[in-house]
Amino acid sequence: MSRQRVLSGMRPTGKLHLGNYFGALKNWEEMQRAYDCFFFVADWHALTTDYGDTTQIRENTHDMLVDWLAAGIDPARATLFVQSRIPDHAVLHLLLSMITPIPWLERCPTYKEQQQQLTGRDLSTYGFLGYPVLQSADILMYKAHKVPVGVDQLPHLELTREIARRFNHFYGEVFPEPQAIHTEVLKLPGTDGRKMSKSYDNCIYLSDSEEVVRQKVRNMMTDPQRKRRNDPGDPDVSPVFAYHQIFTTEQDVERIAADCRSAAIGCVDCKGILADNMLRYLAPIHERRAHWAADHKSIDAIIEAGTAAARTAADQTMAEVREAMKI
């Protein structure tokens, strides 16, 4: 029996942070063992919101690929590629757009939400409305069984299933209906306690040096009620403690929590322990990153090989699509 296929993509946002790692990459890394994985950079999707300034897309694509490899995504086990290098994604997007009712797209929660949130640019474009159709094309092109995504993407997966059903209804069974796998199991706050996000400037990046990591941990927010060293603290409201739960052994976490409540340990020492543990955890990632960041040529070769493999799969699907549609 052949392995089930997993496909996922990320928009090229540039360097990735710990939120991206625990929200997606760590899962991708684990899935490579059990599934036939396809992971790609959705650079055309970046255009749907950032069409006005495309100068960073190439560099961001490269930086993100370096972080994928640093995170342990292994080109020997997964197929890595860039969306725009496989023009058939646009062909399938066009064909699917013919059968997608506009209300399905207007109803999509991400459509209205993003239009409201991303102010300062005109998102009443054809391409932005069609964002989920392009995503459907990405997924159906490889007949993926499983698609690991964050909760915000679940409506897009539902739409993909609806489009697949509609296609199969008109032209015959070509596309299996993909299942979503939620990946946001670990919610890591930013250094200020809010959601970790580039726009809040509260991220720890996979590419941060040891010194920068230590400094960011030192400046992390703690229990705001704990003003003096001898005040007892509440670990449950401190982002530092949320981090300990990931990076520190269970036994030590319990001890640190108790010592925080009794003021036996101060925030400076608590953060020092965290920085040590975090850096130990990140060491293999930092090591791989140092290796790949210096090697543009190998990254190009990995994408070349991944694109060729993805194209073979895409060619086969497109032949079936043309046959089914008699086109």
Q: Of the two residues 11 and 271, which places its CB atom closer to ligand TRP in the complex?
A: 11
When asked if residue 153 is in the footprint of ligand TRP (CB under 6 A), the reply is: yes
- The Cα 55–Cα 246 span in angstroms is 36
- The Cα 150–Cα 138 span in angstroms is 16
- Compute φ and ψ for 6, nearest 5 degrees: -115, 135
CB atoms within 10 A of CB 162: 16
> Segment contacting ligand TRP (CB under 6 A): 99-107, 133-141, 197-205, 207-215?
133-141
> Segment contacting ligand TRP (CB under 6 A): 115-123, 146-154, 169-177, 257-265?
146-154
CB of residue 51 vs ligand TRP: minimum separation in angstroms?
16
Give the closest residue to 34 by CA, choosing from 2, 70, 8.
2
- The Cα 174–Cα 321 span in angstroms is 7
> Segment contacting ligand TRP (CB under 6 A): 8-16, 226-234, 246-254, 308-316?
8-16
Q: Which of residues 41-100 bind ligand TRP (CB under 6 A)?
A: 42, 45
When asked if residue 277 is in the footprint of ligand TRP (CB under 6 A), the reply is: no
Selected binder of ligand TRP within 5, 8, 37, 84 (CB under 6 A)? 8
Tokens of 86: 């496989």
- The Cα 152–Cα 144 span in angstroms is 19
CB of residue 106 vs ligand TRP: minimum separation in angstroms?
17
Instruction: Tell me the Cα Rg of the chain.
Output: 22
When asked if residue 12 is in the footprint of ligand TRP (CB under 6 A), the reply is: no
Binding footprint of ligand TRP on the chain (CB under 6 A): 7-11, 42, 45, 135, 138-139, 147, 149, 153
